[in-house]
Amino acid sequence: MPDVKGAIIELRKICMAFAKRSGEPLPVLDDIDLSIHDGEILGLLGRSGSGKSTLLRIAGALIKPTSGEVLYRGKPLLEPAAGIAVVFQTFALFPWLTVLENVEAGLDALGLLREESRQRAQDAIDLIGLDGFQSAYPRELSGGMRQRVGFARAIATRPDVLLMDEPFSALDVLTAETLRTDFLDLWEEHQLPTKSVLMVTHNIEEAVLMCDRLIILSSNPARIAAEIPITLARPRNRLDEEFGNIVDNVYSVLTARTVASLGAFTQTHEALARPLPPASVNRMSGLIEILVAAPYGGQAELDTLASSLALEINDLFPIAEGLHILEFAELKDRALKLTAAGRVFAHSNTDERKRLFREHLLRFVPLSAHICRVLRERKQGRAPRLRFEIEMEDHLSRRDTERTLRAVIAWGRYAELFAYDDKSRTFSVIAKAG
């Protein structure tokens, strides 16, 4: 149990479930205990779709959990409170208000006098480096300046806790770095009125750079997989050996979680319960070709791959996972290693690749075999998409079902296993010439 004394916000036994089509609940968050301590930046890290943003919204009382409770300064938090402010990934600025009006809008609920509210807004604008832009409309600003308005609006309310939902992920690399540095400078010089920060991110380096403590969430449903304290002195340097070690450590924890979750499905043999990652055939074969060539020679560490391909780790994971599921490569620790089949694939021509892919798809993705079997059993060789959707939604959320079907359709089309018509939303056997 975390120490309750210094906790500003406490989440107790939080569970969250969304309704499936059949009406049954599908758990997204499972029994999560978490507290945000006084004076810390707490990072929430996890795969995309793991429910970290949902958890942040629950901490801010923007969403009600299915069960469990949120305590703010020891009292139950039922609706958004004055001491909690949110910074959004998409900025969430009102396009019809100027910068100054946007910041003042955040103060409306405090019922301040007009002069005081103006003064506070002005102070926040100065602090965050927006001076001179007061009368600009958001559409006139660059992404970075917009997010500065997002920060100013949150800070002007002088919150105890700042909830930041991937605040830098909609920005380009350079802008994000500038904003991060500026934020950390203010934080380290204690210029911010805020006592604690909860930040959702999927960028591991960002997490290690900014946070005092990291919580890593597993997915389907999300549980707390690991808690990693980061005691590096500030300001932190990415080039430090210690920094690199921590980043590597977080990578392996995340990869291990991924591998474990992949393994779970092969054991239970629940053909339809395995969600497929959104990995296109083009990207998978591209990755195979890169892996087989120099300097990797069939094996590479994920973080090296990600940085050399200029991909976010969250964009790389689905591709690696796809290769792992199809057994063209193996995902282990932090590394991706081509299998023998993967090497053969790399050196084959188009037709041979298709044949190989088809074999692997039928063997390792039970859903595709299932679709083929259903199509064969039917006289006309056709089956509506809905038939599979209903079946799959017993095990998967609607979003995962959608994503999985999308993947299996793309893979099946490439492998020429079956045809799919989106207009009538039906699967059918491929009419063979001759």
Binding residues vs other proteins (CB under 8 A): 57, 60, 62, 79-82, 84-86, 88-98, 100-101, 105-106, 108-109, 111, 114, 122, 131-132, 134-135, 137-140, 146, 153, 157, 423
Helix, strand counts (H, E) of the chain? 15, 16
List beta partners, residue 75.
Answer: 72
By beta-carbon proximity to other proteins, the closer residue of 21 and 118 is 118
Measuring CA to CA, how many Å separate 378 from each of 27, 326, 390, 422?
34, 27, 18, 19
By beta-carbon proximity to other proteins, the closer residue of 134 and 428 is 134
By beta-carbon proximity to other proteins, the closer residue of 175 and 339 is 175
Cβ 203 to other proteins, closest distance in Å? 20
By beta-carbon proximity to other proteins, the closer residue of 90 and 268 is 90
Angle at 184 between CA 306 and CA 309, to 5 degrees: 10
The three-state secondary structure class of 334 is coil
Cβ 90 to other proteins, closest distance in Å? 5
Contacts of 36 (CB under 8 A, 6+ apart): 7, 8, 9, 10, 42, 59, 161, 196, 198
Cβ 202 to other proteins, closest distance in Å? 18
* φ and ψ of 144, to 5 deg: -65, -45
DSSP label at residue 431: P
Measuring CA to CA, how many Å separate 404 from each of 54, 63, 80, 90, 279?
21, 27, 35, 26, 10
Cβ 246 to other proteins, closest distance in Å? 32
Cβ 158 to other proteins, closest distance in Å? 13
By beta-carbon proximity to other proteins, the closer residue of 100 and 383 is 100
By beta-carbon proximity to other proteins, the closer residue of 51 and 342 is 51
Pairing between β-strand 7-19 and β-strand 213-217 as defined by DSSP bridges: unpaired
Pairing between β-strand 196-201 and β-strand 161-165 as defined by DSSP bridges: parallel
Cβ 121 to other proteins, closest distance in Å? 10
β strands within 95-191, DSSP E: 161-165
DSSP 49-72: TSSHHHHHHHHTTSS--SEEEEEE
Cβ 256 to other proteins, closest distance in Å? 33
Cβ 106 to other proteins, closest distance in Å? 5
Contacts of 273 (CB under 8 A, 6+ apart): 265, 395, 396
Cβ 109 to other proteins, closest distance in Å? 4
By beta-carbon proximity to other proteins, the closer residue of 35 and 157 is 157
Cβ 98 to other proteins, closest distance in Å? 8
The span from the first CA to the last CA of the chain, in angstroms, equals: 69
By beta-carbon proximity to other proteins, the closer residue of 105 and 226 is 105
Angle at 194 between CA 191 and CA 196, to 5 degrees: 125
By beta-carbon proximity to other proteins, the closer residue of 79 and 189 is 79
By beta-carbon proximity to other proteins, the closer residue of 23 and 132 is 132
By beta-carbon proximity to other proteins, the closer residue of 85 and 326 is 85
Cβ 130 to other proteins, closest distance in Å? 12
Helix (H) or strand (E) holding 26: strand 25-37
Q: Which of 294, 207, 283 is nearest to 247 (CA)?
A: 207
By beta-carbon proximity to other proteins, the closer residue of 132 and 295 is 132
CA distance 131 to 95: 19
CA distance 198 to 54: 13
Cβ 139 to other proteins, closest distance in Å? 5
Angle separating helix axes 241-268 and 302-309, nearest 10 degrees: 110
CA distance 209 to 259: 26
